[in-house]
Amino acid sequence: MQGDDRTPSRSDTGPATSPLGGPAPGPVAEVVTLASDLIAIDTTNDGDPDTQGTERAAAEYVAEKLAEVGYEPTYVESGGRGRGNVIVRLPGSDPARGALLVHGHLDVVPADASEWTVHPFSGEVADGYVWGRGAVDMKGMVAMTLAVARGLRREGVAPPRDLVLAFLADEEAGGKLGARWLVEHRPELFEGVTEAIGEAGGFSIILPAGRNPAIVDQWVRWEPGTAAGPGRSTSPARVVASPLRRPVVFVSCAPADQAWAD
């Protein structure tokens, strides 16, 4: 592990099984195992920048899983104790092409166990689902990214261009102690990146009757609404640093007879 000489705290979970019940392809079972393990690591972000970060254990787990198949991941704590991040690069066959960044966050919003039918940090697998805080936002995608990265390395696949994988802290509080800190203090980790894929890659919506969507494409920072609070956006003039500044699409469900402007 580059950048930190500590031994990851979690042990190997062993070969992937099929916890969904019945036979499942190896990659699917591996994703289930990784997602369940990650959910069981409590990485609650309460939004207070003065509290110790909770992402370290999850970042160490990710780094361990990458190192198992031959990667040399870089572990970095970003702007605060415990704000663990992991970045790794898989070289591509054409170094002249811009690198692709695939990023996900390790932190989750708070969860009250009394409001859950299963413990939010159990990672329980039941009824064909992996249950817990972060299953959707966004340890499920982190697990898929990790499984794909492990598969590419095991099979010796060189992608068409460099792949930079980033597993980040502090997204739920806006990323100041995560993505923003990294691009300000460790920009070399993202050298050559020209495109990025992350959490807001696409979504579906159901519009109420009598409302039309208005699509706005602009350079902004978006802080999504979650259980921790409402969403909000900043103007293009106030956009903050991120691993890659990119257009974000917003959908406004304004009444059909009302022009949407702001």
Catalytic amino acids? 107, 171
Are 53 and 171 in contact by the 8 Å Cβ rule? The answer is: no
Q: What is the DSSP letter of 190?
A: G
Q: Is 194 helix (H, G, I), strand (E, B) or coil?
A: strand
Q: What tokens does 104 get?
A: 């996900």
Beta strand 163-168 with 99-105: parallel, antiparallel or unpaired? parallel
Rounded to a whole number of angstroms, the distance between the first and last alpha carbons of the chain is 47
Angle at 165 between CA 238 and CA 142, to 5 degrees: 90
Q: What tokens does 232 get?
A: 């909000």
| Number of C-beta neighbours around residue 203 at 10 A | 8
Cβ-Cβ contacts under 8 Å for 145 (sequence gap 6 or more): 102, 104, 165, 167
| Backbone φ and ψ of 63, nearest 5° | -60, -40
Q: Is 58 helix (H, G, I), strand (E, B) or coil?
A: helix
Cβ-Cβ contacts under 8 Å for 252 (sequence gap 6 or more): 213, 214, 216, 260
Cβ-Cβ contacts under 8 Å for 6 (sequence gap 6 or more): 60, 75
